[in-house]
Amino acid sequence: MPQLNLKLSAHDQQVLDSIFNPLELSGVQATDSVPAEGDLKDVEPDTEAIRASRKLELQAIELSEKGKLEEALDLFQQSLTLSQRASVLNNRAQTLRLTKRDEEALDDLNRALELANDQQARTKCHAHCQRGVLYRKLDNLDKARADFEAAAQLGSKFAREQLVEINPFAALCNQMLRQAFDQLK
């Protein structure tokens, strides 16, 4: 394939930069100053109720993975009865989405984000990603973008990728590149 020596105008370069670095436009910091998602942890008090709630939550996740969604939802509810925890709501939202109960899932995600504090960065990140995906499915790109920006700020690579996908400049760039390649033919 021949190498292209295209001289880009300052405007074209700015458009390309905004496509490949959409976080700069939104005010989200560059990835160098953002923690890696794998480093995020949830810190909760070590009480009997929380340990029992966590155990039920893990069992519910296993049931969801096996496709036993109604049984999983029952265990999530038992877990929440023991302790109102953001991670339980986030995980239950995922199971609710699998049962096509998007409005209930959205309610759980909203509540999870209300409950998640700075000590629950992992759950907060995942809830923002999941809610962003749900908003995107519901064609609410402004709310999706806001959630993906929040998750990206917490370190989510997935959220950064979603921001690139919903970036309005991406379509413009694709069109410009298509025209440039057509002209080379």
For 38-67, what is each residue's pLDDT tens digit?
A: 666 766 778 899 999 999 999 999 999 999
- Predicted local confidence at residue 118, as pLDDT: 82
Q: 44-118 architecture in CATH?
A: Alpha Horseshoe (1.25)
Residue range 135-148: mean pLDDT, rounded: 95
- Predicted local confidence at residue 8, as pLDDT: 63
Residue whose tokens read 């890696």 = 36
User: Which range (67-81, 133-147, 169-183) has the least confidence?
Assistant: 169-183
What's the mean per-residue pLDDT of the chain?
83
- How distant is the alpha carbon of residue 35 from its chain centre? 15
- Predicted local confidence at residue 174, as pLDDT: 63
Residue (of 1, 6, 3) closest to 176 by Cα position? 6
Contact 128, 147 (CB under 8 A): yes
- CATH 1.25.40.10 in the chain, residues? 44-118
Residue (of 41, 26, 35, 29) closest to 116 by Cα position? 41
pTM of the complete model: 0.73
